Amino acid sequence: MAFESWRRPDVRSVITICAVSALLCSCGSSKSVELAKRNVEQFHSELDSEQYAAVYAACDEKFQQVSTESEFARLLEAIHGKLGNVQKADLRDTRTVSLQGEGAMVTLEYETKFAEGTGTEKFSWHIKDRGAALYRYEIDSDKIK
């Protein structure tokens, strides 16, 4: 019988295959996270310099379908007006989800110290074609409530 020549895979082979697969996945994931981190720095720079149109231009088209540029600019103006410039942003959490042929979604959560207060910021970036577009932005701060 043809099945007689089949044997169980060696455990070391299975472990090696799993390790290589995890390494390959994490390489793409780490590049996506690094790209998202750079985009958070750019976001903060543009927020500090009140370049709200530039922030909006870097948003994903789906983001732009649910929020107009003027609505988003008003939100950013309120954040900047109440909290001031970013002093320090500490990364607290990172999540990456593959979007099966549509790139990846990277969510970064920061504890951010502004000149006039603190806040927890959550950024979701759509990573596609070596670029990142802001898909979602949330901030939780006592100064903004």
The band of 8, judged by pLDDT with boundaries at 50, 70 and 90, is very low
Assess if residue 145 is contained within a domain. Answer: no
Q: Count structural domains, the chain.
A: 1
Helix, coil or strand: residue 129: coil
Is there a contact between 109 and 33 (Cβ–Cβ < 8 Å)?
no
pLDDT (0 to 100) of residue 138: 97
The CATH code of the domain that includes 96 is 3.10.450.100
Q: Which residue has the higher pLDDT, 100 or 8?
A: 100
The band of 14, judged by pLDDT with boundaries at 50, 70 and 90, is very low
Mean pLDDT, the chain, rounded, equals 84
Assess if residue 1 is contained within a domain. Answer: no
The band of 101, judged by pLDDT with boundaries at 50, 70 and 90, is confident
pLDDT (0 to 100) of residue 25: 39
Assess if residue 80 is contained within a domain. Answer: yes
For 86, phi then psi, to 5°, come to: -70, 130
Radius of gyration of the CA atoms of the chain, in A: 21
Handedness of CA 20, 25, 26, 31 (dihedral sign): positive
- pLDDT > 70 fraction of the chain, expressed in percent and rounded: 81
Q: Which domain holds residue 44?
A: 9-140
Give the contacts of 141 (CB within 8 A, at least 6 positions apart): 79, 82, 83, 114, 117, 118, 119, 120
Q: Which residue has the higher pLDDT, 42 or 5?
A: 42
Assess if residue 42 is contained within a domain. Answer: yes
Please write the tens of the pLDDT for every residue from 15-70: 433 333 333 333 347 899 999 999 999 999 999 999 999 999 999 999 999 999 99
Assess if residue 128 is contained within a domain. Answer: yes
